[in-house]
Amino acid sequence: MVRETKKPFSIKLDRRTNSQLISETQMVTDSAEVVDKTDVLKGINYGETTVYVSMEELKQLKSNERGLTLLGFKPLECLKPYYHKSPSYFIIPSETKVKGSSCLFNALLQQCHKRRVFAVCKGFFRSTSGVSLVALIPQLDNQNPGFHAVILPYSEDIRDLNLQAASPVDLPSELIDATKNIVKSLKRDYIPEMIKNPALQKFYSNIEALALQLSEPEPLKDDLKPDLHLIDKMVAEYEHEIESHLPKSKIESGGVSCDVPNDLEEATKLEQPLLSCLHDKLSIHATLVSLSVIID
């Protein structure tokens, strides 16, 4: 139901006639003689022996009959969110291609939905693709009944990250409550249909400018750009409350004094210029509270 929209493939054209060019690959010998594809062999080393396979035999090895082979059923609770390896397919019956498929399909769909199970299948979706492990998740809907075909990972595809858990940090309850209020005030309804891909919009805008011979493309609205003024206005009442609970320390260096987070003390020990340190750190950790400069 959801799949990434990619940019269209580029087409090579003749600069003089603007007609489409067709590429063709040919194999030649050292003497520049063209070799027919039927005379080409591919080999693979197996121990001390090289096994040769013709192009036709290799094509037969790679070609598989498209379809699904049922392997069994599993409870829906066994399907983890991280098992979704790639975009899924949506399967519905077709009476024009397979007569009687709707009756069998609907019976399987209703039983899977009733028993809260999904079907595990071996699937070939393209004649040249490899075998995939597929989970058929039932969707019993009056408008769009069918199965979601989710590509499952193999055991080699699941990674063991061995991440170390972060050490717990004791925070004041007032700071946690203020942070929760900020999160609640910034909550918005997520509607994907209202957010356009800025990369695609820019691509088509440049194509349009080239086609219409415009000096520059029209400016586009970036739906991913946040409204910083609105965000500042919504969280302004919690800003001072959070700043009052953040740990800060006094740093003095070269006539300059300011309140900054504790991790900036390491910068002064390393004799790093304070203003340079503030420029790098304050935008991430805190807001500059006071800055005093002594002028002789």
The count of structural domains within the chain is 3
Residue 124 has pLDDT above 70, yes or no: yes
Same domain, 70 and 144: yes
Does pLDDT of 210 surpass 80? yes
What's the pLDDT at 137? 94
Same domain, residue pair 105 and 135:
yes
Q: Does residue 207 fall inside a structural domain?
A: yes
Predicted confidence at residue 263, as pLDDT, reads 46
Six token digits for residue 190: 């997520």
Q: Residue 200's domain spans which residues? A: 173-183+194-244
Instruction: Give strand ranges (E) for 41-162.
Output: 41-46, 49-54, 67-75, 89-91, 117-124, 132-139, 146-152
Residue 294 predicted with pLDDT over 60: no
Task: Specify the pLDDT at position 4.
Answer: 82
Write out pLDDT tens, residues 249-265: 544 444 444 554 444 44
- Residues 51-108 have pLDDT tens digits of 888 877 877 776 667 788 999 999 999 999 888 888 888 988 888 888 888 898 999 9
The pLDDT, as a whole number, for residue 121 is 94
Task: Give the distance between the most distant pair of CA atoms in the chain.
Answer: 95
Q: Are residues 103 and 70 in the same domain?
A: yes
> Are 54 and 125 in a shared domain?
no
Residue at 281 is within a domain: no
Mean pLDDT of 109-119: 94
Residue 17 within a domain: no
Query: Each residue of 184-206: pLDDT tens digit?
Result: 888 888 888 888 898 899 999 99
Looking at the structure, do residues 81 and 144 belong to the same domain, yes or no? yes
Question: What is the per-residue pLDDT for 247?
Answer: 65
Assess if residue 72 is contained within a domain: yes
pLDDT band at 240 (very low <50, low <70, confident <90, very high): confident
Domain assignment present for residue 121? The answer is: yes
The answer to whether residue 275 scores a pLDDT higher than 60 is no
Confidence at residue 220, expressed as pLDDT on a 0 to 100 scale: 87
150-168 pLDDT, tens digit per residue, is 999 998 998 888 878 778 8
Q: Is 62 in contact with 128 (CB distance < 8 Å)?
A: yes
Residues 104 and 117 in one domain: yes
Indicate whether 137 and 209 sit together in one domain.
no
- The reply to whether 108 falls in a domain is yes
Same domain, 54 and 70: no
Q: What is the mean pLDDT of residues 127-132?
A: 77
> At 116, is the pLDDT very low, low, confident or very high (cuts 50, 70, 90)?
very high
Q: What is the pLDDT of residue 163?
A: 79
Q: Are residues 57 and 78 in the same domain?
A: no
Which CATH number does the domain housing residue 77 bear? 2.40.290.10
Strand segments, DSSP code E, in 63-145 are 67-75, 89-91, 117-124, 132-139
H/E element, 253: strand 248-253
Residues 82 and 135 in one domain: yes
The C-alpha atoms of residue 208 and residue 219 are separated, in whole angstroms, by: 12
Q: How confident is the model at residue 41 (pLDDT cuts 50, 70, 90)?
A: confident
> Is residue 45 in a domain?
yes
- Please check whether residue 157 is in contact with residue 85, taking contact to mean a CB–CB distance below 8 angstroms: yes
Residue 110 clears pLDDT 90, i.e. is over it:
yes
> Can you read off the two tokens belonging to residue 13?
């054209």
Which of 62, 80, 97 is the C-terminal boundary of a domain?
A: 62
Q: Is residue 89 part of a domain?
A: yes
* pLDDT, mean over the chain: 79
The confidence score (pLDDT) of residue 64 equals 66
pLDDT class of 170 with cuts at 50, 70, 90: confident
72 and 113 fall within a common domain: yes
